[in-house]
Homo-oligomer: A and B are copies of this chain.
Amino acid sequence: MTVPTGRRERKKAATRQKIADTALRLFLERGYDEVGIRDVAAEADVAVTTLFSHFASKEALVFERDDDFEQRLTRAVTDRAPDEPLVPALRREIHAMVLHCTADGSAPIYRMIDESRALREYEESMRLRHAESLATALVADPGLPQSATACRTLARFVIDAYALARDAADPQGAVDEIFTMVEAAWAAA
């Protein structure tokens, strides 16, 4: 078990990165639906099978780094101060996530996502996964008196807040407005 360094792992990471960079560049240049997997593989100078050993699907090339989101949400629950109320902690995290993906740097990427049905559907199914892992974290929290159904409901409402805010004219304002509703729902549970 030699620890981190190792030429092999560096090469693997480099290949993965090269594929992701090439894919994103081509997608932004020509449009997601106009670029085939074979195009990406050829331009990145790897075999198609190599590409699929690094990424599970064509869509995954776009959402390369979004396991982060999943972890950040569950950690907003598990790592919060013992006396910090739950919903505001979640609201803070959603605020940060919305801010991140409405930033100027991310704008072209999210425009591309909106333009492709395949990417929109993939993103939504990703969010479902996030909701489920958030739900698991909530159900497991011994400090919450609410029922499991209420926890699962809250998880979906929080993910809805993210999705709705991203499409709103004023994303940050929408987060606050929706969280007023979420807070009331959670209090009633």
Contacts and interface: CB of A to CB of B under 8 A. Distances in A.
Contacts of A177: 147, 149-150, 153, 189
B121 A149 contact: no
Interface stretch (A39-47, A74-82, A94-102, A180-188): A180-188
A164 interface: yes
A128 interface: yes
B174 A181 contact: no
Given A180-B189, A184-B185, A188-B183, A149 B125 contact: no
A32 to B, nearest CB: 17
Interface residues of A, number: 29
A18 interface: no
A185 B188 CA distance: 9
Interface string A127-163: 0100000000000000000010110110011001101
A184 B157 CA distance: 13
B184 A168 contact: no
A187 to B, nearest CB: 7
Interface of A: 121, 124-125, 128, 147, 149-150, 152-153, 156-157, 160-161, 163-164, 168, 174, 177-178, 180-189
Given A181-B185, A182-B185, 12 more contacts: A147-B177, A149-B174, A150-B177, A150-B181, A153-B160, A153-B161, A153-B164, A153-B178, A156-B163, A157-B181, A181-B189, A185-B185
